[in-house]
Chain A
C-alpha cells in the first residue's frame, strides 16, 4: 500500500519497550481528542479517546494523557509489539457540530 508515513517524524522503539507518541494541538477550545492508528494500505482505526474534563484514560495496553495547560496529548503503548508498527494520528474537535481536525501523524517503527 501507499506509504502515507513518508516524510513523517518517526519513532523507533525496541520490541517490548514502552512507546510514547506526542501530539501538540492548536485549538484551546477543543474538547474531544482521539488517537488513530493507520496501517499500510488501510484506513485509520480508532484506538482511544478522551474528553477535556479528563486528563488520563486507559485502554488495553494504551493510555492517553491530556495536558490542557500546554495543549499536549500523548499516547502511551505498553510492551510495544511488531503489530503496533503504523502511523499514529491525533485528532481534536471543538463542539458537537464541529469536525475532527487531524494532526500530520507520526510513524512508529518497532525493532525486533
Chain B
C-alpha cells in the first residue's frame, strides 16, 4: 500500500457542486499539505496542517477548505467548484521529528470542473 493515498484518482464534476478530496497516510507524520499543480506553474500550496485541528492557509486558499480530524487524514473541499479549479491536486506529508525534512507526496487527484 502507498504511504500517502489520495482518493479519488480522477474526478469530473459540474460547476457549483461541492466536492471533497481525501488524503490518508500511514507514515505517522504530523504535518500534512495540499498542493495544486497546473501545467507550467509548478506546485502551489493551498492549505497545510502541522497537527490535528491545526489549519493554516497557503498561498491560494480562496475557494477551498480543509479538515484535519485525525493525524492520518487531511481532506480538501471545494464548496462550490468552478472551472478554474481544474487541476492536479497533491497531498503531502512531512515529519520534523525524524530529522528528514523531505515531503512524501501522494499520486495526485486529477480534478476537472465542467
Contacts and interface: CB of A to CB of B under 8 A. Distances in A.
B43 A93 contact: no
A78 B85 CA distance: 39
In which size bucket is the chain A interface?
Answer: 20 to 34
A49 B88 contact: no
In which size bucket is the chain B interface?
Answer: 20 to 34
Given A4-B88, A43-B90, A97-B50, A89 B105 contact: no
B90 A6 contact: no
B29 to A, nearest CB: 13
Given A4-B88, A43-B108, A89 B43 contact: yes
B104 A2 contact: no
Interface in A43-95: 43-46, 49, 89, 93
A4 B37 contact: yes
Interface of B: 4, 33, 35, 37, 39-45, 48, 50, 58, 88, 90, 92, 96, 101-108, 110
